[in-house]
Chains A and B, each alone.
Chain A
Amino acid sequence: MKNDPNYMSGAEIFFECLRRENVEYIFGYPGGAVLKIYEHLYDVDFLKHILVRHEQGAVHAAEGYAKASGKVGVVLVTSGPGATNTVTGIADAYMDSVPIVVFTGQVSSHLIGNDAFQEADIVGITRPITKHNFLVRDVKELASTIKKAFYIASTGRPGPVVVDLPKDVIASKCIFKYPEEVDVRGYKPTYKGNSNQIKKAAEIISKAKRPLLYVGGGVIMSGSSEELKIFARENKLPVTMTLQGLGAFPGTDPLSLGMLGMHGTYWANRAVDNCDVLVSLGARFDDRVTGKVETFCNKAYKIHVDIDPTAIDKNVIVDLPIVGDVKHVLAELAAEMINPPDTTEWLEQIEEWKNECPLDYEKNDGRLRSEFVIEKIFEKTKGDAVVVTDVGQHQMWTAQYYKYNHPRSNITSGGLGTMGFGLPASIGASFAVKDRPVVCISGDGGFQMNIQELITAVYNKLPLKIFILNNSFLGMVRQWQELFHQEKYSFTDLGNSNPDFVKVSQAFGIESYSTDNPNEVESLLDKAMSINDRPILIEFRVVKEDMVFPMIPSGASISDMMVKRLNPKRMI
């Protein structure tokens, strides 16, 4: 056996498996429990290990890579604190259905349960926030477990998978054989939708007077943007998108209504409220979309296409559920559509709403505003950039003002709303995307949550364009304080406690600029776009007290939509 060339250690098997899964990048951080893996990594040349500066950064980077590329993002960390540092990122990937595989080191099998040095029950900890997880108990199970992990992460409704690797398993040896196929009998995603249901859907859409497509991240994940484009255009169907769905349909297309929901456009939300047939494609009726469920879209016949049966009837009871992959279902649906509905009047009505209450902000007082900066970023990149955001007001403004032309271009933390996501995720995306600019838009608060990853961008010479919209506030929280909490600006004013972002960047070795002058924005953006071999950071010092509108308060109805600040005196 020992002479068999396939007689390998767990660490060698680990890399053989990654080779067969065509892994290009690992985002990782070494430590005691994974030293053996790092020992072999030293000689591995078919993939690149990206050293982050915090394990949370590794997971977000893997997410950014996965979202931009459509491939599985891979993370490698040590046991105990290395593993627990990944938890926020894993929860984030779970909420937004991002395919990643996280390999965690673990103490040796015989020490598990002993409160050994750097032991943490990461399989127990991550059970509710993973699609699945594994503790590998025998080196003989390693290859098949890794195969299953990649398969489960990337198929069906994608999600994070954790593989916990005890130190002794990595060190012990067996004959390596990579399984050709996987069979997990408890896991059989449904790809093909029920044909009768699809036929019925086509009939109903054909007869609709005011149909609306409500599109989520599932369209992007399943790679059905092309199909969607053809389907919507051929049948003249207006399209509204969730935060994760932005990019699934070109934002500049006249049929695009932009985002719906809490900070969605006025016209998208009016369309939801007044449509007679709502077709949900790969979206999950999340509470940021529906507000008060009882009043959400309650005049319409609802069709819901989703690969995950649990998404159906979870928040909103629908009339026609279709479980399946959007790609398959859309193809079949398009073929079944014999008569496109006549939507001329409906589209005119939507146009009226658009004119009634367009997205707007103060442009004439000479002060710099986030909306303006984002509009300029859109103009400079023509909607072709990959735009990664952090969480907060700047995220919502980006969703409103950046009109994505392509799928896999909008990378943002939606379900979990994780501050600190932006910078590391944009680093991950930069490894996946070489032919288009990658832009990171962050708030001054969230930027400080994974600021250490600046060095990862510098060291890898990533041509990342980092834009901080510094309003000297935890802006989104401030907005809620003004609107709903008696203007008690409790611990959200960072005016006197922010670092000097330019100096910080310089310390990391990043060329950086700062401005509060609207007239300088274009030239600074031109400069940023012209650099292609290293990161650049620009701080835009924007108006402190701006708020994101429209806004439907949490749990409220479309009739409660606020379209502008009621008391403009609150602006200083």
Chain B
Amino acid sequence: MKKHTISILVENHFGAFDRVATMFSGKGFNIRSISIGETEIEEISRMTVVTEGDDKIIDQIVKQLNRLIDTIKVVDLTGSPHIERELALIKVSVPKGSMEEIKNINDIFRGNIVDITGRSMTLEITGPPDKIDAAINLLSAFGIKEIARSGIVALKRGEQIKIKKEKNLTT
């Protein structure tokens, strides 16, 4: 089963996020990660969903997403050039004498140390998901206390996708 990253532009309407999530759960499709945020257009949000399935399932997912009234554009980014990033906050234990080692790892991953106490440190690491996995892997030797991952955000490389402005029909 292949992993796919799907980018969805949705109207900023009440419940639009829920419609997408409900479609996935109602049809039994998997969500590996999901993120949502504002875009350059005020009334549009972008959702990025990482899902998995064979070609038939992915085809259905894309069609079912398109079928929702609040989705404006659905693109399966997998297979075309695109950028994927994720942010992770990793709270790691600092056993005596290992502060330097953890700092080194943080530097290698170009992370930021965003919080520090006597016994723990919180690192902020950004990058493609496999980079974050690698960082977590290395840090687990010290004991990981908590992790928060943002889920993937992604953009297609090159040209932007054009969005039509909706006629304002409210009274």
Contact = CB atoms under 8 A, between A and B. Distances in A.
Interface of A: 123-124, 127-128, 131-132, 135, 137, 140-144, 147, 152, 174-179, 181-187, 308-310, 312-314, 317
A309 B171 contact: no
B63 interface: yes
Contacts of B171: 140-144, 174-179
Interface of B: 10-11, 14-15, 18-19, 22-23, 26, 56, 59-60, 63-64, 66-72, 163-164, 166-167, 169-171
Contacts of B23: 128
Nearest to A179: B169
A182 B169 contact: yes
A186 B56 contact: no
Nearest to A141: B170
Given A127-B18, A137-B14, A186 B170 contact: no
A186 B68 contact: yes
Nearest to A185: B166
A140 B170 contact: yes
Given A140-B170, A176-B171, A186-B70, A313 B56 contact: yes
A207 B72 CA distance: 41
A132 B18 CA distance: 12
A144 B170 contact: yes
B72 A186 contact: yes
Q: Which 8 A-B pairs have the closest CB atoms?
A: A179-B169, A177-B171, A183-B167, A310-B63, A132-B69, A185-B166, A128-B26, A144-B169
Contacts of A174: 171
A147 B171 CA distance: 12
Q: What is the predominant secondary structure among interface residues of chain B facing chain A?
A: mixed
A513 to B, nearest CB: 46
A66 B58 CA distance: 34
A181 B64 contact: no
28 contacts: A123-B15, A124-B15, A128-B22, A128-B23, A132-B70, A137-B14, A140-B170, A141-B170, A144-B169, A144-B170, A144-B171, A147-B169, A152-B69, A177-B171, A179-B171, A181-B167, A181-B169, A182-B169, A183-B166, A183-B169, A185-B166, A186-B70, A187-B69, A308-B67, A310-B63, A313-B59, A313-B60, A314-B60
Contacts of B14: 135, 137
B153 to A, nearest CB: 21
A10 to B, nearest CB: 11
B69 A131 contact: yes
Contacts of A308: 67
A140 B170 CA distance: 7
Contacts, number: 69
Contacts of A312: 63
Contacts of B64: 310
Contacts of B163: 185
Nearest to A310: B63
A186 B71 contact: yes
Contacts of A128: 22-23, 26
Q: Interface centre among B11, B14, B171, by most A CB within 10 Å?
A: B171
A157 to B, nearest CB: 9
A284 B60 CA distance: 14
Contacts of A309: 63, 66-67
Given A185-B164, A186-B70, A313-B59, A124 B169 contact: no
Given A128-B22, A128-B26, A177-B171, A184 B15 contact: no
Given A186-B69, A312-B63, 14 more contacts: A127-B19, A127-B22, A128-B23, A131-B69, A135-B15, A141-B170, A143-B171, A183-B167, A185-B164, A186-B68, A186-B70, A310-B60, A310-B64, A317-B56
Nearest to A138: B170
Contacts of A140: 170-171
B15 A127 contact: yes
Nearest to B16: A186
Nearest to B165: A185
A183 B72 CA distance: 12
A287 to B, nearest CB: 15
Given A128-B26, A177-B171, A310 B15 contact: no
A124 B17 CA distance: 12
B104 to A, nearest CB: 49
A127 B10 CA distance: 16
A144 B14 CA distance: 16
A137 B10 CA distance: 19
Contacts of B63: 309-310, 312
Contacts of B56: 313, 317
A184 B69 contact: yes
Nearest to B18: A127
A58 B29 CA distance: 34
Contacts of B59: 313
A515 to B, nearest CB: 47
